[in-house]
């Protein structure tokens, strides 16, 4: 397994693979890898001959006051895990070469990227779209794998690729969860025992919301009940509990389920003297 830190070194490897006709599958990450990331890598292994994983904590998707500096960085352990999974190359770009002092270009996606997360993190998907575009241009993959846990992000990247005619297939991987149903996340490492126990209640409340709607309950009533249940359980606040169309992320018309939908949740879980913002979603 190679670890490459320069764009020139990356392109040299990619060109060699292209010359051999190998299909390249890409898994972009911010590091601090866990079993959820490894499920993406295993799926990528089935989609092509070469797997590239990037590790880059992208500053443009963090707003002022968010946890950029505190975000866990575990490159040595990440490399060990990826080597054990048979990854061919790890790309670890330097932030100064990703965004040099003259950088002046942005990428903005509308539609699916508006609302939900951007009601609370207005510049988040601008940062995601920018870094993913740059990474796609550098890695030049045939396929890229993203997790469904960040469901709006997945929809945004699909929109980006389609709108800009990028010849890349986007594959969504099912959410990896622990034995209690908590979606695996790098930020789970922040939790103490009490915070972790509370966080694990989110999945059950989300499932109950989906079940109520399948049984014919109005969407507004079901989501209001889910918000109340989260606060009663001990969550500090709820940014949203929304039910949207699974592809367009548009609001359901009529207020009742008449086909597939997605419950999307963001809530703040207390953890000692601070809190951890959890996002999750569930297919209905």
Active-site residues, by number, are 37
Q: How far apart are CA 37 and CA 173, in angstroms?
A: 10
Whether the CB-CB separation of 162 and 47 falls below 8 Å is answered with no
User: b/e map of 36-52 (b: 16 or more CB within 10 Å)?
Assistant: bbbbbbebbbebbebbb
CA distances from 87 to 7, 15, 117 (A): 18, 17, 32
Nearest to 53 by CA among 22, 88, 12, 96: 88
């Amino acid at each position: 397994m190679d670890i490459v830190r320069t764009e020139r070194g990356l392109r040299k490897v990619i060109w060699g693979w292209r010359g051999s006709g190998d299909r390249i599958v890409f898994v972009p990450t911010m590091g601090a890898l866990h079993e959820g990331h490894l499920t993406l890598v295993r799926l990528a292994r089935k989609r092509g001959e070469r797997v590239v994983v990037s590790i880059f904590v992208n500053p443009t998707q963090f707003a002022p006051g968010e946890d950029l500096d505190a975000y866990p960085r575990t490159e040595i352990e990440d490399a060990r895990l990826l080597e054990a999974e048979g990854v061919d190359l790890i790309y670890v770009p330097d932030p100064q070469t990703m965004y040099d002092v003259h950088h002046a270009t942005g990428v903005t996606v509308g539609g699916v990227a508006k609302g939900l997360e951007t009601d609370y993190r207005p510049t988040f998907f601008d940062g995601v779209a920018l870094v993913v575009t740059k990474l796609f241009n550098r890695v030049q993959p045939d396929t890229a794998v993203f997790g469904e846990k960040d469901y709006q992000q997945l929809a945004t990247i699909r929109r980006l690729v389609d709108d800009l005619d990028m010849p890349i297939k986007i594959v969504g991987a099912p959410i990896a969860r622990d034995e209690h149903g908590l979606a695996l996340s790098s930020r789970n490492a922040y939790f103490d025992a009490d915070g972790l126990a509370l966080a694990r209640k989110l999945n059950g409340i989300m499932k109950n919301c989906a079940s109520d709607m399948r049984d014919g309950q109005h969407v507004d009533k079901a989501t209001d009940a889910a918000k109340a249940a989260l606060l009663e359980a001990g969550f500090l606040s709820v940014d949203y509990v929304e039910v949207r169309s699974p592809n367009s992320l548009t609001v359901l018309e009529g207020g009742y389920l008449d086909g597939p939908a997605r419950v999307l949740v963001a809530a703040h879980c207390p953890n000692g003297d601070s809190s951890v913002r959890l996002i999750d979603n569930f297919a209905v």
